[in-house]
Structure 1
Amino acid sequence: MSSDPQLAARTAALELLDAALSRRAGLDEALAGPAMSRLPPRDRAFARAVAMAALRRLGPIDKALSAKLNRPPPPAVLNILRLGAAQAFWLDVPEFAAVATSVELAASRKGTRAFKGLVNAVLRGLLRDGPPADDPAALAPPWLYARWRAAYGEAGAQAVATLIAQEPATDLTLKSSEEAEGIAETLDAQVLPGGSLRTSRRGDLAEWPGYAEGAWWVQDASAAIPARLLAAQPGETALDLCAAPGGKTLQLAAAGAQVTAVDRSAPRLKRLSANLARTGLSAETVVADAATWGEGRTFDAVLLDAPCTATGTFRRHPDVLWAARPGEVASLAAVQASLLAAAAERVKPGGRLVYCVCSLEPEEGEAQIERFLAARPDFSLAPASPGEGGAPEASLKPDGTLRILPHHLPGGCDGFYVARMVRQAALPVSGGAR
């Protein structure tokens, strides 16, 4: 580890970007890795900010770089150039410092040392041209933008992609809605439809008022809608499948339901349990694959937030756009169909089932429910009403399901598909003599 704080922070940023672009969930792993943990808080925040700025504008940066490069350099060199451009154009770093520290970063590594002259020349060329424009069609990977255009039209695709470059505020879900006004004032937050709070406050969450007391948890405004649509009642049994990281479990428990949370990841369930303890809420946690969980219990209300490409979460996780691959849509759709079939068997006759994904891809949302309802005549849609659960009215589809696009809420939100269904009540057994 370098003794130069500036170089150490930029080395960590390079590791973050390398990890984000090499594998799904790589950024989260690197954020918790040794390169970041060894940095003081201020440098750690800077390293994250540089990597995130590069990811949010990766498309425009690469378009500008391609005009300056005769052929692609090694990946590590390309990432150094990306980080240098992000610092120079979108962070509060003087242009000369962005170039000089990028050259120093290249010189500090064996595999990139021979390219320090290239780094210097290319970045200086970019600075002469000025910052690249935030062309919506360039902000997303071309294959994803083409999918969004096909699904939502050119105007819809542009509105979605424009938000990629914008850093989001923080949304909170309250344990008790009665405290909304007081907590909102304390955190300088806006109360959103449905009761979520939105704040531009920055810094360590654990230091924010109400955190230690368990008054709230971080949860995107869109992510809070599915549990509200499930409308669990005090004393009802509720099942949260694929439950981690647990925001929806906390919502169901706060509503007074007897909650069982199932997830295949023990470490992620451990985090869920820690949040239950912090908020003073209770739920049964089960480490199991939701598709093959062996217990035969059925529940009044079942929520399935299925694994997906997560393309709707790009505001907070821009890396998902660049880690996703076209083939994943079909493979994950098969997983979702299996989980949805398993979730249906957990619903009591007369009970409710909510299916949701934080994906913008129709194969993972609308197509799943169409296929499911065709195969399961004992289930039918229970349409959402306009504005129910805090859902933007623009998100309500004619069939009563929700297609929440990131631009449907002023200031942005995660993209989600949500469908609420009911299972036909068991028919009474006819009696009498024959």
Structure 2
Amino acid sequence: MSKNKYVFIGLVITTLISALDTNIMQTASPTIVNQLGGLELFSWIFVIYMLVSTITVPLYGKLSDMYGRKKLLIIAVTLFTIGSILCGLANSMVMLIIFRGIQGLGAGGMIPLSMIIVGDLFTIEKRGKIQAVFSGIWALSSIIGPILGSFFVETLTWRWIFFINIPIGIASVLCLIPYKEETVYKKTHIDYKGFFLFGISITLLLLSTSLSNPTWYIISGVIALILFVLVERKEQHPFLPVSLFKNKGLLSTNLFMLVYCLSFYGTSNFIPLYLQEGSQMSIYKSGLILLSIAIGWMFGSIPAGKWIIRFGYKVLFIIGSIITTLSGLILYLFIQDIAYIGLFLILTMQGFCFGLLFALGTIASQEFAEPSIKGMSTSLQMFLRNIGTSIGVTIMGVIINYGATLAVGMKNVFFYALILSFLTIFLSFRIPERTAQLGETSITK
């Protein structure tokens, strides 16, 4: 077996523990609260993890461009594993929240760095297939995660939902050790002042999505973001390199992915709720509907690399955004009348677009970027996706809550997503057709 295959196995394992953690926690968290107490702090088990893992994504990308991907990924997995051990030993809700923060500190680098290494090791044709494998892992974890969570809680103890990460984390690190990076990384200045302001602003804005009275958090977050921009304009080596914003390919792709995640990508979170409450469907059957998105995602991401070489970026982004919009229009107009199998097919279509466009976005963030900022570019796009999804889901939750009925609220959610999806069509026309148009890395790398 070649060293690259060992590395690939390590990346798969890394993705697996990250995906499983999210799904297992949702199942086991009520039992944890019953045993540790602190119901008023319940949401912080998830909030602290989400905050830390989100704001550290760009920092991992920056550091990976300076010190290499392998070192950073091993550090990230180690932090996550240590955090898992501490979470399993926690004796109070406060301790658990603190240790979940340590877990999040590691999780912030695990997925982005895995994707960056994939971009370093594999050709464009293979990257779509590899992303399909990672998508399959997330789909599989969404099914087996709750089952494992229930098993640990009922048969052993909830602490094993964390302890199970120990052997998996060790296996991941062992697989990464043979990996020898060929790129010579250049150590540059790190703008910690910029990162601090950036982190504060994003933290405040993300907190506003989790609190009942978000006004002051939004205002403070916007002020901090303005300060960040003003300070960075005078910084010789800004935290976010200027080239990320002057590069047409990166700027247009990142903006597209941000708006795309604000729109229909988050609607799937509410489909099971709608089916359970609106159609009196069982939890099992309503949850199974999301398998359609996973299936479509795999079929969309597998051929992405080959299609980029054959058709270019722009055409694929345009087609993907138009199909998403058309499927969303059908949901908006006929959601109350669509049969289960019809809904399954429509969501499969959307999943196909998600898989295609996310694969395109990841590849574009690497191919349009200069080699010295490839890590930062990849992690920035993943950061923007996380932000877009978090804010989009929050907005949709508010829309549903203000609806006269759940059916009305869901219809309003689709209308909101539909408006933004028309914007993604417009943005797709601004994406360059090929990497070579910008005089950068050849698309036939």
TM-score (structure 1 length as normaliser):
0.26
TM-score (structure 2 length as normaliser):
0.26
* Structure with more of its chain in helix, by fraction: 2
* Structure with more of its chain in strand, by fraction: 1
Q: Which has the higher contact order (CA 8 A, sep 6+)?
A: 2
